[in-house]
């Protein structure tokens, strides 16, 4: 009897195991197997925490000058040295992380909010609506991202808020293109046709049926775009179009350091290293998310 009862238990437990192993769990498992992606996530979290806790962990006021400590080399008192005005470079790097990460996160969020609705509208509506939106998107994509951001920031005026707006507008076409392509692909599926046949209005189909299915590629692209936005913000601040002195920004710190590369190289090394690490981390994180959310990897 015991031998005949044991096979009956196994099939009953099989569906529970299958249900427990959801697509989200499999994606998390694939992500955490990607060691470089996990490393990127850790580095991003470290920079985010440093930016949030800058008022408490920065040892000095980032804008306070001291003429007795001009261009001092790194020491126990000033871990990253001081700049041309005697300001602590470590404190300015911490506070500069706020400007760079805020510019990257907020500008890409704004680009998503601007680009995805137009992409969905173009992909689902088709016709002349798709033609107009696609031609405007193609025209914007024909201009290099950084060149377009510089032109818009110069037009809007030098300020961090204007730089973020310029970056958001410049980054939105890629989200328009991505959302449009995914919407056109989803529009031809049976479940969208079924939703349309049941009398669902177009906005409901877009929000409840199409948008949730295009979130993974949008998330991957947003992560990679944050890295580009951080570089763009640093470039705009370097050119004087972003964060304005004396408020710290990695790009403006590099601009000030270029005059003292031989006398005080630490002024350029540490903000440059911060940009390198955070951009590399976001790229590694984006690659890991792309592999984890790849629908072709469902069996793994």
The CATH code of the domain that includes 183 is 1.10.3720.10
Residue 16: per-residue pLDDT: 47
Q: Give pLDDT, residue 295.
A: 57
Q: Is residue 22 part of a domain?
A: no
* 43 falls within a domain: yes
Tokens encoding 161: 């808020």
In a domain, 272, yes or no: yes
Q: How big is the chain, counted in residues?
A: 300
Task: Judge whether 110 lies within some domain.
Answer: yes
C-alpha to C-alpha distance for 52 and 272, rounded to whole angstroms: 20
Q: Which residues contact residue 217 at a Cβ distance below 8 angstroms, ignoring those fewer than 6 apart? A: 178, 182, 293
Please give the mean pLDDT across all residues of the chain: 85
Instruction: Give me the pLDDT at residue 222, please.
Output: 93
63 falls within a domain: no
Q: What is the pLDDT of residue 127?
A: 87
Number of domains composing the chain = 1
Cβ neighbours of 208 (radius 10 Å): 11
What pTM, to 2 d.p., does this model score? 0.85
Question: Where are the alpha helices (H) located in the chain, listed in sequence order?
Answer: 2-20, 23-33, 35-52, 54-57, 89-125, 127-141, 145-156, 160-187, 190-197, 202-204, 211-238, 250-257, 266-292
With a cut of 70, list the residues of the chain below it in pLDDT. 1-21, 23, 295-300
Distance CA 206, CA 215 (A): 12
Whether 88 and 82 have beta carbons less than 8 Å apart is answered as yes
Rounded CA separation 272/247 (Å): 17
The predicted pLDDT at position 125 comes to: 82
Buried b (16+ CB within 10 A) or exposed e, 179-195: bbebbbebbeeeebeeb
Residue 11 counted as domain residue: no
* Residue 286: domain span: 27-55+78-293
Q: Kindly state whether residue 69 falls inside one of the protein's structural domains.
A: no
* 107 vs 89: CA distance, rounded Å: 26
> Is 186 among the domain residues?
yes
């Amino acid at each position: 009897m015991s031998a005949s009862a044991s096979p009956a238990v196994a099939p009953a437990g099989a569906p529970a195991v299958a249900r427990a192993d959801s697509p989200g769990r499999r994606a998390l498992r694939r992500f955490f197997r990607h060691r470089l992606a996990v490393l990127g996530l850790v580095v991003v979290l470290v920079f985010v925490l440093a930016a949030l806790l800058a008022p408490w962990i920065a040892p000095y006021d980032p804008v306070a000058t001291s003429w007795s400590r001009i261009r001092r080399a790194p020491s126990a008192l000033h871990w990253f040295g001081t700049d041309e005005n005697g300001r602590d470079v470590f404190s300015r790097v911490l506070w500069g992380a706020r400007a760079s990460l805020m510019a990257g996160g907020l500008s890409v969020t704004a680009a998503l909010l601007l680009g995805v609705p137009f992409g969905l509208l173009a992909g689902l509506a088709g016709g002349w609506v798709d033609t107009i939106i696609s031609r405007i998107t193609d025209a914007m994509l024909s201009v290099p991202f950084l060149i377009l951001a510089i032109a818009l920031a110069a037009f809007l005026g030098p300020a961090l808020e204007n730089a973020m707006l310029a970056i958001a507008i410049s980054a939105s076409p890629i989200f328009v293109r991505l959302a449009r392509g995914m919407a056109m692909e989803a529009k031809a599926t049976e479940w969208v046709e079924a939703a349309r046949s049941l009398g669902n209005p177009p906005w409901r189909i877009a929000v409840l049926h199409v948008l949730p299915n295009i979130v993974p590629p949008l998330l991957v692209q947003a992560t990679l775009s944050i890295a580009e936005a951080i570089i763009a913000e640093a470039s705009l601040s370097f050119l004087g179009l972003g964060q304005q002195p004396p408020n710290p920004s990695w790009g403006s710190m590099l601009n000030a350091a270029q005059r003292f590369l031989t006398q005080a190289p630490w002024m350029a090394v540490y903000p440059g290293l911060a940009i390198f690490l955070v951009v590399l981390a976001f790229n590694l994180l984006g690659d890991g998310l792309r592999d984890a959310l790849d629908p072709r990897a469902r069996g793994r």
